[in-house]
Amino acid sequence: MTTTTTKPGLAPKLTALTKVVELGPGRLDKKLLNEANSLLLRAGDRLKLSSEHTVVALAGGTGSGKSSLFNSISGLELSPTGVRRPTTARTHACVWGLEGAGPLLDWLQIQWRHRFSRASALDKGDSQLHGLILLDLPDHDSIRALTDTEADRLIGLADLVVWVLDPQKYADASTHRRYVTELAGHEAVTVFALNQADRLTAEELAELVIDLNDLLRREGVEHPSVVPTSALTGRGVESLKSVVATAVARRRAAIQKLEADLHRLEQRLSQAMPLGEALSAPSSVDEARRMGLTDALCDAVGVPAVGEAMENVYAERSSRWVGWPYPRWFAKFRSDPLKSLRLEDVSEEIRGISTSSVSAQSAEVANAVQALADGLSMGMSPVWRTAVQQAARSRSGQLPQALTEDLTEVAPQLDRVPGWWRVLKVWQYFLVAAFVAGIAWLAVGLLMPGQLPASLELLGDTATLPWVGLMMASVLGLGALSGIASRNFVELGASRERERLEREMRRRVGAVSATMVVEPVERELGRHHAFYTAMRDLSV
């Protein structure tokens, strides 16, 4: 049974890349996302396949001698060679140790008729190469390659690539521009075989090796591995086999290739989405900003105006019930300012205040939402800043209407009469009756002294009149004091009703804004934080 071992850190990086791919749509370039997704698929497939085999691909241009070198390494005439170019139309594979290699060769899409087992061809194979799958790729610069991407595909899938270069075309632009410039960080899984060394003198070969090394370094390959070879004479073939054998023995080329691919992709992702101070951005909407949004929306929908109107109307209506009756009666002889205010329809007026405020101040609602988004997205990259703003505005078109409908439900019931108003009215009219009785007593005592029957003699007794006057004065004073006290209680009650109403309206405004603004924004903030956390884990 084949087991797969990965370098500590590779699995977490692949997990981080998975998260980046999951959260990247709409934020990252589609081409970059597709490359990341392809790498994840390739890594997942390769890590599930045999870790006991190392896939080494011989790649190069037309006439570089790949097939001859392939035959020389394998010791067999497996891949056709000749003058006709390109000679290799399909990839050939030679396997040292066929057991367990089948699924890997299937994944590489190597045709059955082009698979060869080194152990079955000879009674005794090279033990140092056990586990090697050597591929002879089609020429990447042939006319056929324009319509057949097999070479490019297998260069990407191979664990280690041996670039076979010849003295005439070792600096060929098609190779360097398309492939070598992409090899930065892949030195551990890339070898350059300067083939056909038999055509050069020792001095020419030395100069060519130096020039090739300099060229590769200029193109970003910091530590190039260059091996001069000659498939014709066998020169350098053993050196190349030794390099390959070392990679095969370590059983780490596949992991190193994935690490190098991952590192290169991480650099491109970092250029597109620099980490910077991204993780210092908020991942949720804090309480202060929630309250700020609620305050702004309450101002936009006129909550203070509704509360103030309710308080004033409450106080004015109470005068019909708890004011000292005599001033009210006298006021009837004056013009009534309340009629011009149409307070008899005050409940509908209050509802009108709430409704008109929401619809009329929709611009302020939008400004409040925009202010929240701007504050939260400050310092983010433009694409994420736009995403947060779009999330905040995602339901802003429905927000004014939602606030209107919700606040209309809590319009105050201004026709409600508190029980203590009724009790106080009874008490005040009792005092009115007592004052009227006192006036009657005084009238009788002053106009009919001593003329009443014995049963009513007390009413006509002039000696009681001072006490009656004192009682009347006390009634007037008590009525005035109760009127003043009741007004104070009314004002206190009105203030409490206003606070209750505004508190309930604020609660509803906060609930609506949480559902329609805060929640979408927090989802985007959470996505932003998770994305950059994955980017950080990927770059560790």
Q: What is the DSSP string of 100-162?
A: TTHHHHHHHT--GGGEEEHHHHSSS--GGGTTEEEEEPPPTTSTGGGT--HHHHHHHH-SEEE
Look-up: residue for tokens 């071992």? 5
- Residue 251, pLDDT > 70, answer yes
Q: What is the pLDDT of residue 2?
A: 44
Q: Is 120 exposed, middle or buried (0-12, 13-18, 19+ CB in 10 A)?
A: exposed
Look-up: residue for tokens 């203590």? 420
pLDDT in tens, 506-528: 898 899 999 999 999 999 999 99
Q: Is 398 exposed, middle or buried (0-12, 13-18, 19+ CB in 10 A)?
A: exposed
Look-up: residue for tokens 């206190």? 492
Cα separation, 418 vs 430, in Å, equals 19
Look-up: residue for tokens 């521009």? 177
- Structural domains for the chain: 58-254 (3.40.50.300), 281-327+348-539 (no CATH)
- Residue 147, pLDDT > 50, answer no
**How much is the mean pLDDT over the chain?**
80
Q: What is the pLDDT of residue 324?
A: 65
What value, to the nearest 5°, has the Cα angle with vertex 221 and ends 219 and 227? 115
pLDDT in tens, 427-445: 777 777 777 776 776 666 5
Side chain identity at residue 477, one-letter code: G
pLDDT in tens, 291-313: 999 988 888 887 777 777 777 66
The pair phi, psi for residue 192, each rounded to 5°, is -110, 115
pLDDT in tens, 330-358: 656 665 554 554 444 444 554 444 444 44
Q: Within a 10 A sphere around the Cβ of 184, how many other Cβ atoms?
A: 15
Q: What is the pLDDT of residue 323?
A: 65
